[in-house]
Amino acid sequence: MGSNRLISKEKRKQVEDTSLSKLFEELCPIFMSYGMSYDEYWHGSPYRAKFYLDAHKLKIKQRDEEMWMQGMYIYEALCDVSPILHAFSKKGTKPLQYSSLPYLSKVNELKIEKDKEQEKKNAQLIARVYFENWAKNTKKHFEKK
């Protein structure tokens, strides 16, 4: 009975090893498509593979956002030109004026304003903490005398 147990453990280990080997072999081309070299994949740190995967996910997210933004530009352009595309539009109808600034420049301006507000709040908080500490120390100093 004991030898049967040993054999089944050995067989299970062999099956597990084979399954993991097959998995790593299947994943190698995928990670190579992410920019990881063959040597990095097989001989490098496993953390490196994780970082390549994380970087790939970020690239996909960035690409998705770029495509979404492109769709927004196309949508806005179609909406701006739509008044003249109607079959029954009046003669002399003109399209709406297209946006004068790119969307991202507007977002950056808002971000800069928010950052400035946050910096101001942080400076006020630091000044308040500094003053409160000074007041406590001064009070302790006079209490001792």
Residue 98 main-chain phi, psi, to 5 deg: -70, 150
What's the pLDDT score for residue 137?
Answer: 86
What's the pLDDT score for residue 52?
Answer: 93
What's the pLDDT score for residue 19?
Answer: 76
Task: Give this prediction's pTM.
Answer: 0.50
- Kindly report the CA angle at 142 between 137 and 145, in degrees rounded to 5? 135
Q: Is residue 29 part of a domain?
A: no
Q: Is residue 114 part of a domain?
A: yes
The whole domain housing 118 covers 102-145
Q: Is residue 123 part of a domain?
A: yes
Please report, for residues 33, 35, 38, 110, the alpha-carbon distance to residue 29 in angstroms, rounded to integers and kept in the order given: 6, 10, 8, 42
| The 3-state secondary structure of 81-140, one letter per residue | HHHHHCCCCCCCCCCCCCCCCCHHHHHHHHHHHHHHHHHHHHHHHHHHHHHHHHHHHHHH
What's the pLDDT score for residue 7?
Answer: 61
What's the pLDDT score for residue 59?
Answer: 95
What's the token pair of residue 77?
């352009």
Domain count, the chain: 1
Q: Is residue 39 part of a domain?
A: no
Per residue of the chain (145 residues), what is the pLDDT tens digit? 455 555 666 666 666 666 778 888 999 999 999 999 999 999 999 899 999 999 999 999 999 999 998 998 899 888 888 888 777 778 888 888 877 777 777 766 777 778 888 888 888 989 898 888 888 888 888 887 6
Q: Is residue 135 part of a domain?
A: yes
